[in-house]
Structure 1
Amino acid sequence: MHSQIPEPLRALVEQLARLPGLGPKSAMRVAMTLLKWPEAETRRLGKGIHDLRDNLHLCSRCGGLSATDPCDICKDENRSRDTLCLVNEWDSMLTLDEGGFYHGQYMILGGLLAPLANMDSDSLDLDLDRLISRLEEGEIRELILALGATIDAENTASFIRNLVRKRFPHIRVSRLAQGIPLGAEVKYMDRETLRQSLQYRQDI
């Protein structure tokens, strides 16, 4: 970075460049745009970022982001209590729920196993304890694995399937139908593909 850049600007650019999809040049463009905003707008943005950390929490039931605990989905009494859909990330849960075709419970795993990168269940912060606790409650009759169609998702699905079969043999373990393109992530799929994949889900 150019040595003549003022320190406050340099510090902001370095922070912005840590965001996904932003390199140093893109971060500089964002910073320069912010400098052109009215002061009230930049303060509102700063407050929004601050409030994000202060007012959002992880739901103790599903692990999703929420301003309340439990979140609105988990405390919805109209949702089915015997089906649990396991997703990798919170935005995958949003994508599925926005479709309006799934009315069960959710849980966010928080990562995927990646054996080739030496990322196993011990090195990753997977929420396996929360999953096991949910299954031990006795309400769940089917666990739907909606982890995507990547190699890491396949490895994770196999691991979860074996874990559940061993400890909870009465629980059906299914996955989204194989119409999902290889390498696809749930959060990027269109509504109709997701609907059909869920409707025609398969046991694993």
Structure 2
Amino acid sequence: MQRLPAPLQKIVDQFSALPGVGPKSALRMALTLLKWPPESVRALGRNIEGLRDALHICSRCCGLADADPCHICADPKRRVDQLCLVSEWDSLMVMEEAGFYQGRYLILGGLLSPLDGVDAQALEMPRLNSILREGQVHEVILALGSTMEAEATSSYVHALVGRDFPAVAVTRLAQGIPLGAEIKYVDRETLKQSLKFRQAL
């Protein structure tokens, strides 16, 4: 690629660091910004700069929110007896966009992966324990996908809940989710059927 002016190269490099954005896409994005009115570019910069300050991690579900607790955890219409475990925030968003789950969530912050140095202490297991100790949850729904890491995490949670909270049922999403798939890539109808026909562990 032809050498870019230093300020443009700097932006291209920063955009390229984002997931799913290669150098060509990053260059297109940077060139598009050069066509925008100056005030629009400045507004984008301010919004990016203020993003971390404007968002909080919900103290209940670990989701991104502009208030604590988040709108899901603060909603009195939500079922408090169901707790859906997801690995990341984008999986929660997929579940919410599908519009059929009415319980609460806990975002684990990843999946168990010993080879990558991710053990139970790196995830939100203490928070899960704390929520279950409140005694309101009667069912933990595992919406973690079907990768090897998801299976390991599911087994860990199942053992933990079975040992410390035997009255709490542990279920997982059922039919239609292919082996090795992540929840965030599953279509709405498949996800709906998987939740409807979830299986006890």
* TM-score interval for Structure 1 and Structure 2 normalised by the shorter chain: over 0.9
**Which moves more between the two structures, 159-168 or 5-14?**
5-14
Is 2:175–2:193's contact at 8 Å kept on the other side of the alignment? no
Give the one of 124, 129, 137 matched to 2:126: 129
Aligned length: 201
How high is the sequence identity, in percent, across the aligned residues? 57
Show the counterpart of 1:120: 119
Deviation string 1:130-158 (CA, Å, 9 cap, x unpaired) is 11111111111110000011111111111
Q: Within 5 Å, which residues of 2 pair with 1:1-204?
A: 4-122=3-121, 125-204=122-201
Q: For residues 139 and 192 of structure 1, do their structure 2 counterparts lie closer, same or farther at Cα, with a shift above 3 Å needed?
A: same
In the alignment, structure 2 segments of 5+ residues that lack a partner are: none
What's the RMSD between the two structures over aligned residues?
1.7
The residue type equivalent to 1:12 in the other structure is I
Q: Aligned partners of 1:26, 1:179: CA distance in 2, in Å?
A: 33
In the alignment, structure 1 segments of 5+ residues that lack a partner are: none
Deviation string 1:5-44 (CA, Å, 9 cap, x unpaired) is 3332222222111100122333222212211221122112
Query: TM-score by structure 1 length?
Result: 0.91
Deviation string 1:63-92 (CA, Å, 9 cap, x unpaired) is 111111001110111111111000011121
Q: Aligned partners of 1:175, 1:149: CA distance in 2, in Å?
A: 10
Q: Aligned partners of 1:118, 1:74: CA distance in 2, in Å?
A: 30
The residue type equivalent to 1:81 in the other structure is V
Deviation string 1:70-127 (CA, Å, 9 cap, x unpaired) is 01110111111111000011121121122222111111011011244453334xx311
Runs of 4 or more off by more than 4 Å in structure 1?
none
Is 2:82–2:103's contact at 8 Å kept on the other side of the alignment? yes
Question: SS of the counterpart of 1:173?
Answer: strand
Q: Aligned partners of 1:10, 1:133: CA distance in 2, in Å?
A: 48
Is 2:170–2:200's contact at 8 Å kept on the other side of the alignment? yes
**How far off its partner does 1:54 sit?**
1.6
